[in-house]
Amino acid sequence: MVSHLLDRIKIAYQYHYHRAVGNVHTVSVGLLAAAALVAVTLLAPEEMVIIGRLRPEEMVIIGRLRELRPMYLFLALFLPVAVITVYLMMQPRAVYLVDYACYRMGPNGRVPFATVLEYAKQVPEINESSISFVTRLLERSGLGEETCLPLANQYIPPYKYCTLEASRDELELVVFSAIDELLAKTGISPDAIDILVANCSLFCPTPSFVDMIVNKYKLRTDIRSVHLSGMGCSAGLISVGLARNLLQVAPQGANALVVSTETITPNYYIGNERAMLLPNCLFRMGGAAALLSTSSAKARFRLKHVVRTLTGAHDSSYNCIFQKEDSQGCVGVNLSKDLTTTAGKTLKANMAAVGPLVLPASEQLKFTLYFIARKALGVRVKPYIPDFRKAFEHFCIHAGGRAVIDELQRGLSLSNEQVEASRMTLHRFGNTSSSSVWYELAYVEAKGRMHHGDRVWMIGFGSGFKCNSVVWECIEPARDADGPWATSIHRYPVPIPDVVKH
């Protein structure tokens, strides 16, 4: 009991110590200002000549201050300064995105539609009806012919080679490649990383995901590390929010490495449940690494807001993305037919929280007037949906599937160009789960559309059901198109037909 209390006291001490150190300039200026005022009031009249000529009314004010008792003088001067100082110290520190990097596999990982179908036909458990369903789904999926799968999924039959070792190999290839590129871009040493947050929903080996990264890059023994699992495709934005919170209690200038991926190898479904065959068609190989810091040096974006919405209290939301066994005992992820509807409802709840933080006053006023008209006056009018296009220049909507992007485009009244990054990411890379929003940000930058001061809205959806938002403000756009789109950006955007026929 005593040791637990001591641990809590130590944590509280470290928290307030780092707060004070991080705001040392604010504290010093405030106290020096108060001390200067006290010193002036204690000077003798003849000594005030040194300060400079004072007008008669100023001499009267100082004279009255000199008549006050020391306690009153303390309360009048030091107490307001102390209150202001404490208030400033309690304000959260600004967090910046130094840079990010996305994994891009070579041509050897490419799986055209014909290859995906051929692999499926080699699985005895998958019948002809399911093959026909997969064919129709791929034709309407919005995916292109250059998406990639891990090598283990490209053997015949694929499920026999999806071993634990193959899963680790995929994770190491994706994650280490992204981190290597990020370290090269930022020039930061692994020893300078103070916090590590990684997320991978369906693959949780022992030692953990973060332990693999620590071992590979020989990170410090005092690093604060967390591995998020089971959080779905929105886990990447949850990781950003967690890293931001950890940076608030770390020394000023600390660095946080955020790594997001989903391992495809161990999750190949070999049954005939249609709702569980969807992930085989949509999910592809990908991952991203991002460096956050409380230092603005070399920063490219500033983190403005992180808003999380979880509707898991409702059974329909909780069950709409669910890992389970089918009637034959085959494990897979079931995507409910209500997924799009659930995503729309959860997005509305998230928008209600994001809106007051980002919308201009005119949009908030319109929303308030419509709300009063409907609820207080009983006027039959449609609910007013704020125009978020006035709050953001760029939208990075999770490329979870064509239907999800379509639903958000209608709900937010976005133009084709504003959802272009999401559609093209889905076409070129497929659904890369939690890392998809980083591929979309890279697309916007590769197209040269990002400018200083531009605001970016990242929207992620995940099991539970969750809708999470992260808002960035651009400080310095990318100088070139290097990154995951380096070899293909010149070919995009491409037209995406409703049905692809071969």
Average pLDDT, rounded, for the chain: 85
Q: Rounded distance, CA 419 to CA 496, Å?
A: 13
What b/e readout covers 134-168, taking b as 16+ CB neighbours within 10 angstroms? bbebbbbbbbbebbbbbbbbbeebbbebbeeebbb
Whole-angstrom distance, CA of residue 98 vs CA of residue 199: 19
H or E stretch covering 349: helix 339-358
Q: Where are the domains of the chain?
A: 2-90, 95-491
Poorest-pLDDT segment among 32-46, 214-228, 251-265, 390-404: 32-46
Per the DSSP assignment, residues forming a β-bridge with 97 are 292, 301
Q: Is the pLDDT of residue 344 over 80?
A: yes
Cis amide leading into 493 (omega within 30):
yes
pLDDT digits (tens, 9 = 90+) for 117-175: 988 888 888 899 999 999 999 999 999 999 999 988 888 777 778 899 999 999 999 99
For position 250, what pLDDT does the model report? Answer: 94
Which residue type, as a one-letter code, is found at position 16?
Answer: H
Q: Is the dihedral of CA 334, 335, 341, 344 positive or negative?
A: positive
Confidence band, pLDDT 50/70/90 cuts, at residue 210: very high
Report the alpha-carbon distance of residue 98 to residue 301 in Å, rounded: 7
**Among the listed residues 111, 197, 215, 99, the one whose alpha carbon sits nearest the alpha carbon of residue 434:** 197
Q: What is the pLDDT of residue 80?
A: 73
> Do the Cβ atoms of 430 and 143 come closer than 8 Å?
yes
Inter-helix orientation angle 235-248/436-446, to 10°: 90
Block residue for tokens 């809205």: 457
Q: Tell me whether strands 195-199 and 255-261 are parallel, antiparallel or unpaired.
A: parallel
Q: Tell me what percent of the residues of the chain surpass a pLDDT of 70.
A: 82
Residue 18's pLDDT is: 46
66-80, 161-175, 390-404, 448-462: least confident range: 66-80
d(CA 346, CA 342): 6
Instruction: Measure CA 7 to chain center.
Output: 31
User: By mean pLDDT, which of 66-80, 340-354, 367-381 is the weakest?
Assistant: 66-80
How far is C-alpha 422 from the geometric centre of its chain's CA atoms? 15
Maximum average pLDDT range among 21-30, 301-310, 378-387 = 301-310
Q: In a 10 Å sphere around its CB, with 0-12 CB exposed, 13-18 middle and 19+ buried, how is residue 72 labelled?
A: exposed
Q: Is the pLDDT of residue 56 over 90?
A: no
The set of residues, in sequence order, having a beta carbon less than 8 Å from that of 492 and lying 6+ positions away, is 424, 427, 428, 443, 447, 485
Specify which residues 308 forms β-bridges with.
Answer: 468
Superfamily of domain 95-491: Thiolase/Chalcone synthase (3.40.47.10)
Separation of alpha carbons 220 and 350, rounded Å: 37
Whether the CB-CB separation of 238 and 207 falls below 8 Å is answered with no
Residue at 486: amino acid letter: A
- Of the two residues 228 and 56, the one the predictor is more confident about is 228
pLDDT above 90: percentage of residues in the chain: 63
Exposed / middle / buried, residue 415 (Cβ in 10 Å: 0-12, 13-18, 19+): exposed
Structure tokens at 334: 């079931």
Question: Which of 4-13, 233-242, 335-344 is the most confident on average?
Answer: 233-242
pLDDT at 61: 61
Secondary element (H or E) of residue 65: helix 56-67
